[in-house]
Every structure is written in structure tokens, then in C-alpha cells.
Chains A and B, each alone.
Chain A
Amino acid sequence: MQDGFCDKYFVIFKGICSQYAAFYAMKHKSGLLDVRRMFLADNQMKDLTGQMRMRTQFLVTDDDVMYVKGAVRDENISKLISNWVIAPYTHNVNPAESEMRIQLERAVTLLHGSGLPPSFLIDAPRAAVFNSNCLFTTVHHTPGHDKMSPFERFKLSKPDFNDFGRFGCKTFVFEKKSYRFKKGKSHSWVGFFLGPCANMLGSFVYRPYRQKSV
């Protein structure tokens, strides 16, 4: 089942230190390497003096050939990233298992509360991940992080409540004058809110008239 961007799969990367999670959607499983590169490019945070503040040192995965072999392994070696492979058949020690459970639980909560059909199941984890980044977590490994949300630990600023919206709520999107074909046409169109964007000031909105997410 694909979403409005024709994505069928998704990957959630989560930092063990900051607990900040990042959501990436994929059209095919083969796009994992591109998503991985995108994640590394997005999350190597530098401060104003050019010092590296955030850097991926190792990748914790289960014993899946997608991660421990092939292009992802070569990419890790080239980026000097260690691979921490969880022993097979030991699901309880894999931190990704419980994380998957929590994120999907939150996604179903959003989807059920919105009333949108299950075809939005790819969009719901995106909003759930953004929400969970801004909520309280007991996990912290650095002094001072106990009073900070994962969003603040990672981006050093607090999120604004105006960026939040209820998943699936009615949204009016302003349309520029150049996009209006007829004079006197409405200045906005109505869609459904699908969550904020991660790396830009904007939100995902589903447009029912064109059956497309923008």
C-alpha cells in the first residue's frame, strides 16, 4: 500500500544518545542506501565554529543481510561507521524491536483518531515520529538532557506548538496567484494535515481533489 508520494516502505533512524528519531520513506527496499546517505547528510550537525556536534559512530541493526552485507556495509566502512549487529534470534536485546512497537502504536493511534483510511499508514509514522521527538523521555545519557526533549537535544531549540496539528485535520492551503487558472477563483484549497516536514518549514497535506500529497 503506497502513500501520496508512491512510497511503500519506511525507515526510522534513532540516535541512542539523543533519542532523536528521523523518518524516511522509500519507494523500494533498494532505496535503503540512498536513504542512509540522506540521513548521514542531514544529521552530521556542525556548530557555528565548524566543529562536529553530531556524528554517527556506529549502526545498531539486527542480523539482516540488508545491513550487514552489500552496499550499506561498504558505505559504513567508507564513512568509518562501525556496525553493531545484534545476535540472531535475540529480539529482546534489539532496541529496534521495542522502538518499532512504540512508533507503530503511536501511528495507529493517530490514524484511528483522524478517521483517515488505512492507506495513510505510511504517513502516520512520520507524524508519530515528529510527535515523539518533542515528548518527554526518561532515557538520557548526558547531564542536562533529562530536562530536554529529543528535539531540543538534537536541534538545541524548542519546537513551537503552532507547528503541531492533529493528524488528518482539515487544512486550508494558500494558493499563489500564478497558480490560479481563473480570475476570482478561491485563494486556497482544502486538504488533510499529514504532519510537519522534518527539514523545512512546511507540512505535508493530502489534497483529495487530486488524490495527491504535497
Chain B
Amino acid sequence: MLGSGEAASTVVLFVGIGMACFETTCSDGTSFIWCVPRSVYNPASPVQLLCMNRFHYHHDGSDTRHEWYPKREQLALKGGRVLIVQKETRSQLPLLAVTPTHPLVKSLMLDSPVSQETFSMHVNHDPSPTSAMFTHTHLPKLTARQVPRALGSPSGRVLNETLRIGFIKGTEHVRPFTTQNKSARPDEYYAGKMTSRHVPSKSRRPARVKITVGSHIF
């Protein structure tokens, strides 16, 4: 992170972790909104560091079709618009002026000023202007490893059928396990198996108890 002259001191910093959304202004005056998931944001820092690949690739690895020209100090967007990226004279690092915004602004396409104002009334409760920059309620995506833990470590076949048929809402995106690695089972699974109570298939009736036809029916 650049410009962290205060980082060496013992100041407690509260950073935002999640999807960062910011707005940039193109050379023709229009704006372009960027959303960068899995990033850390320090509102106390005047400069944030962003990887170049964030502009070139989406978080799933697909190409954004934007092109960065360091020598020309330009970032050409796929629609033909151009962002001016000037180099800082002392460090020679490219600088891009960004305005923090909220992810819903992009997802809801709130372009009109009225809706922007209405939206900020619901979001920006804090007087600090950094409150609406991040989704603090962002939760990590549910993975296949977390599902059996919440369900009490069921057997592989039961878990796979539960996920395949979709018995539980919210687990539709979790894929069943292709292979069942018995060595990767948690300790609690075997702790439960060790307590299994044997149900005898042979009668434990004492010899002194005589049962005749219908004698046990009250």
C-alpha cells in the first residue's frame, strides 16, 4: 500500500475487506465503475495499491478486454473510451484518481441523481464518507468443505445425494464430491462410529423365560 507513512507507528487501523467498488472518470467526461472482489481497503491511506491484472482480467480469470498502455499513460476500455493514468513524478508509479462507490450502484444501475441520493440515504449512515465504500456484510461463498461440518459429518453417499438432489436451499452451487477420500474424514466421524451400539441379531432371552404362542401379547 502506498503512502503509508503512518504504517510504522502504532496506530490501530480498521480496514475494509471484501468487494471494493470505485468510479473513474474517462477523458470524455463519462464515468466507469470498477468492482474488485477480495481486496483490502484502508480508508486512512491516501493511496491504494491495485494489481494491474485487476484491470485486465475478471476475478474468474476471463479477459476484460481492457488494455493498459504504460508508455502512453492510458487505459483503453473495451468500448473505446480512454482513462488517463499519469505517473507520479517521484516514485514513477501510475496513479489513477478513483471515487469510492457502492457495489449496488453498479448492479442496480442507479444512474439518475435522484435514485443516487435515495440510495445513499439508506447506505451512508455514518458521517464518515468511507462507510459506503465496502460491503461489510460480504460473506465468503459456501464451499463443499463447510457443508458436511454444518450437517454433522454425514457419510459420503448421503451427503452427495443430498447435494445432488438439492434437499437444502442455499446449497445449489455446491457440487457433490466426485471421490470419497476416507482418509480425509474428520476425527468426529470416527468418534461417532466408535460409539455404534451393537444390535444383536440373536435373541438374548434368558433360559428361564419361556415364551409360548401369544404369551407376550397383553
Contacts and interface: CB of A to CB of B under 8 A. Distances in A.
Interface of A: 63, 68-69, 85, 87-92, 97-98, 100-101, 104-110, 112-113, 127-128, 131, 134-137, 147-149, 151-152, 158-162, 164-167
Interface string B170-197: 1100000000000000111101110111
B85 to A, nearest CB: 43
Given A87-B216, A104-B197, A136 B188 contact: no
A68 B218 CA distance: 8
B209 interface: yes
Interface of B: 142, 147, 149-154, 157-159, 161-162, 165-171, 186-189, 191-193, 195-197, 199-201, 203-205, 209, 211, 216-218
A69 B197 contact: no
A112 B153 CA distance: 11
Given A106-B152, A134-B151, A113 B195 contact: no
Contacts of B211: 87-89
Contacts of A149: 162, 167-168
Contact of A69 (B147, B158, B186, B218): B218
Interface pairs A-B: 10 shortest CB-CB: A109-B192, A161-B170, A113-B188, A89-B205, A136-B161, A112-B191, A149-B167, A112-B188, A164-B150, A160-B169
Contacts of A89: 203-205, 209, 211
Contact of B204 (A91, A100, A101, A110): A91
Contacts of A97: 199
22 contacts: A63-B216, A91-B204, A105-B193, A106-B152, A108-B192, A108-B195, A109-B153, A109-B189, A112-B188, A127-B152, A128-B152, A131-B152, A134-B168, A135-B162, A136-B167, A137-B158, A159-B168, A160-B169, A161-B169, A161-B170, A162-B170, A165-B150
